Amino acid sequence: MSARSLVAFTPGTRRFCGIGAALVCILLSAAVTLAAAPVRRGQTAEDAFREGVGFLGESKTTEAVRSFRRCVELKPDLKECWYNLGLAYGRKRNFPEEANAYAAAVKLDPNYAKAQFNLGVVLEDLGKAGSALKHYERAIAADPQAQDARLNRAMLLLRQQKVEAAIVAFEAAIKLKPTNPEAWFDLAQAQEIKADKLAEPARTQGLRAAIRTYYKAIHHAPKHYRAWYNIGVVHHRLKDYGSEIAAYQKAVLIRRSYTPALYNLAFALRDKGDKARAKTAFERYLKMAKGNKGEKRFVAAAQAQLSKL
């Protein structure tokens, strides 16, 4: 049985929120085409901006786009309005227009760190990894304390298989905020990838270093079930099956419905010869995975094994 690995390398989606209101950055419905924003008589750019912020706060994204477009028509050099127009387009998942708005903001102010960061994020969404990397780097240059930009840059480097550079980037991000569990988690994944390419005994040493790094994530987030799961996967690759089982058990103790850990736990118990507990784990897995399309091929394997117990 090969323990299945956690899918972890997803594009960055963290976006900063607009100024003027406590907004939650959530991506909503598909984009719609809007008519030109009419300028109401006597309305200033500042009026349109405040109106747009209000609409964003109420999740009225279509109205917010119109207001921010009106703002940039009245005052094209107002970078905050371009920035918030980008946020509004992002909520509508109109990524090309979102990118255009952030690009206008950073053209006005290349040191506008939040806009550089968000432009990097949306360029990743558009599949333009090379350009995204440049804007993350510009965000870091504008704000060296921007950990999110450093982490997104590091993850992008890792997805580009630039593992050594990614590790250096993760370590730099961690120095800014050592209490961020996700930074330690991401670093551990990079260490795993590096270790797997090494000959023994360096491979084993590298995998054990990754485990220690996962424990640092758990230290800062004791309920980090994904870290426990990944620790189990690494122990499986080290053929330390007792520690593998214990790690999966920790993961499902924290999150009972976490199907990857239940699946791997069931197989690990089967391989150990503990048929009774393996049967219970398979049954729990199948109950939790029922109806989940993403689990279809794993469900078939679990059913086949359960029938043999």
CB 210 within 8 A of CB 198: no
pLDDT at 6 over 80: no
Question: Exposure pattern of 208-224 as b/e (b: 16+ CB <10 Å)?
Answer: bebbebbebbbebbeeb
Is the pTM here over 0.75, yes or no? yes
- Residue 14: pLDDT band (50, 70, 90) is very low
**Sequence ranges of the domains in the chain:** 256-309
State the DSSP string of 47-67: HHHHHHHHHHHTT-HHHHHHH
Q: What is the pLDDT of residue 3?
A: 53
How high is the mean pLDDT of the chain? 88
pLDDT at 37 over 60: no
Question: How many C-alpha atoms does 168 have within 13 Å on its Cβ side?
Answer: 5
One-letter amino acid for residue 151 of the chain = L
* Tens digit of each residue's pLDDT (9 = 90 or more) over 25-35: 322 222 333 33
* Tens digit of each residue's pLDDT (9 = 90 or more) over 251-301: 999 999 999 999 999 999 999 999 999 999 999 999 999 889 989 889 999
* Tens digit of each residue's pLDDT (9 = 90 or more) over 266-278: 999 999 999 999 9
Between the alpha carbon of residue 284 and those of residues 98, 162, 259, 275, the distances in Å are 44, 39, 9, 14
CA angle in degrees (0–180, nearest 5) for 274-275-281: 95
